[in-house]
Amino acid sequence: MDHWNHIVNTALLGTSRKMPGTQDFQGSLQEPAQLILANQDSDKEEQFLQLTALTYGFHQSGAQPILAEVAPAPECKQEVRQYCSNTAISVLKQVLEIDSIPLLQSWLEYCAFHQLLIPPAMLPTLLDKAWKYKTLRTLTATAGGHRAEWLGLFNNDWNFSKVVETPTDKWQNGATAQRVEALKELRIADPVTALSWLQETWSKEGASVKTELLAAIEPTIQANDQEWLESLTNERSKQVKDGVLRLLKKLPSSTIHQKYWQIAAEAIQPRFLLGPTVALPHIDESIFQSGIDKLSNDKKISDETYILSQIIALVHPSNWETQLDKSPGEVISFFQKHKSLQAFVPSLIQATIWFQYQPWAKELMQQSQSLYIEIIPLLPEYQQQEVCEQFFEQQSEAIVKCAGGFKEEWNLALAKKILTFAATQPYVYNQTYMNNTIHLIPVSIADTLDDIQAPDNWQTGYWSNIKSHLHRLIQVKKQVLSLSSI
């Protein structure tokens, strides 16, 4: 090993300072080293590289490779479904070229709906996309067929691609994303069985999976879940405990909600003749440990008001209907009318959103001359767009952000308002924004798109590029939509 150490030392110090000599090599290496160093036609650097190659080769000679028993790779199962048409492949290439995930999702939905398979040559590209964008995973696994599952054996990033059919199969054998999807499906169809699934496997799940499963049942949380959730309050993982507490706060019959309501009901006394009084009662430390902050971060709001505001925001609105013996509209008016309660109106709005309480959502919009942007998702889909049109000039930026989460395509009037606003900020609402919202933009906007101009000359060029890109997106969207008619 001494001769190799001499090579390393020379590499560290440089050939001009120290060069290995013949005496630094022993045995069978000495003679070839002498020939290299005696060659006058090569400089020191070349001689050094030759000595390095000689020494390295000497070390490698006689080495035996490690023997290992490697099981042969299984063959991919034969596909029984048809591959998508050449036309669909052509559209897919355009979708990938323009790089719009919503359009790619629409294309995959077309394949899944018609029981068509992704061509093998395109499958690795789509598996990579699905690894990056979780919303595509289940669709890619479905349209990928047996080959997607087979490829997942050789790449851990693609292990979501195991194809399973029924919700039970997905839950028992699927990857986490598919299990979450199966749980969501069954929570709607059979919540009792879905709860039993969770109870049976809960102790075997890791903290990250538990967190995902808790998030999956949040939209369908119901009173039957309370007993099980109450039993999980001592989970080891803080992340899981926080998830459990969040769900319990959404159940009006839960212990924590009852504590919140007891404080709120005691703090606000109606006294219809003399007017309501507000006085925060003594609060147990466990309330603050549940996530209620003690100190206000606004000098204009007292700590007592701040604490009570947080608690009211976590109390189900229907409790006030019972307490005050009033309808939703009357309760809202009661809080708006009395000065001592007006500070808590925003908390009532937050409670309406927290519990997704639609009766109050409609009343809040009907009684207000201003827009509560968080209320919009609670309204019927047709009314969401009407409200956005009505208040667009009042809160343009907030409405544009909210409309980006709509499930239904924008109507033409709303689309024009949004794109006209986008033209005023083309560096914010750029090509990436158009890529991400093309599923909401109606193709009919193409006829009037050129009429939408940037207000300032310095924005004109950039906005024109965005419009050109949007025209192309619309054309590709048309082709994706036309596949269903083929």
pLDDT of residue 19: 81
- Residue type at position 68: A
Q: Residue 420: which of 457, 398, 450 has the closest Cα?
A: 450
Q: What is the pLDDT of residue 61?
A: 77
State the pLDDT at residue 486.
65
Per-residue pLDDT of the chain (486 residues; tens, 9 = 90+): 577 777 778 777 787 777 877 777 777 878 887 888 888 788 888 888 888 888 787 777 767 777 778 788 889 999 999 999 999 999 999 999 999 999 999 999 999 999 999 999 999 999 999 999 988 998 999 999 999 999 998 888 898 766 556 788 888 888 888 899 899 989 999 999 999 999 999 999 999 999 999 999 999 999 999 999 999 999 999 999 999 999 999 999 999 999 999 999 999 988 767 778 899 999 999 999 999 999 998 888 999 999 999 999 999 999 999 999 999 999 999 998 999 999 999 999 999 999 999 989 988 887 777 788 888 989 888 889 989 998 999 999 999 999 999 999 999 999 999 999 999 999 999 999 999 999 999 999 999 999 999 998 888 899 999 999 999 999 999 999 999 876
Rounded to an integer, what distance in angstroms lies between the CA atom of residue 42 and that of residue 3?
21
Distance of CA 387 to the CA centre of its chain: 27
Looking at this protein, which amino acid is placed at residue 438? I
> Residue 1 has what pLDDT?
56
Handedness of CA 417, 418, 419, 424 (dihedral sign): positive
- ∠ CA 241-244-250, rounded to 5°: 145
Residue given tokens 């499930």 in the structure block: 407
What is the C-alpha separation between 8 and 5, in angstroms, rounded?
A: 5
Please check whether residue 403 is in contact with residue 388, taking contact to mean a CB–CB distance below 8 angstroms. Answer: yes
Q: Is 365 exposed, middle or buried (0-12, 13-18, 19+ CB in 10 A)?
A: buried
- CA 481 – CA 95 distance, rounded (Å): 12
What's the whole-model pTM score?
Answer: 0.67
Largest CA distance in the chain: 114
AA identity, residue 93: K
The pLDDT assigned to 165 comes to 62
> Mapping DSSP to helix (H, G, I), strand (E, B) and coil, where does residue 118 land?
coil
Q: Map residue 236 onto helix, strand or coil.
A: coil
The structure tokens listed for 384 are: 């969401």
Distance CA 419, CA 416 (A): 5
d(CA 445, CA 238): 49
Contact between 319 and 254 under an 8 Å Cβ cutoff? The reply is no
Q: Please give the pLDDT value at position 10.
A: 77
Whole-angstrom distance, CA of residue 227 vs CA of residue 232: 9
Res 162: pLDDT: 64
d(CA 88, CA 320): 56
What tokens were used for 455?
């207000």
What single string gives the DSSP state of each residue in 109-172?
Answer: HHHHHTT-B--TTTHHHHHHHHHH-GGGHHHHHHHHHHHHHHHTTT-GGGGGG----SHHHHHH
Which residue type is seen at 253?
S
Helix (H, G, I), strand (E, B) or coil at 33: helix
The H or E element that residue 257 is part of is helix 255-267
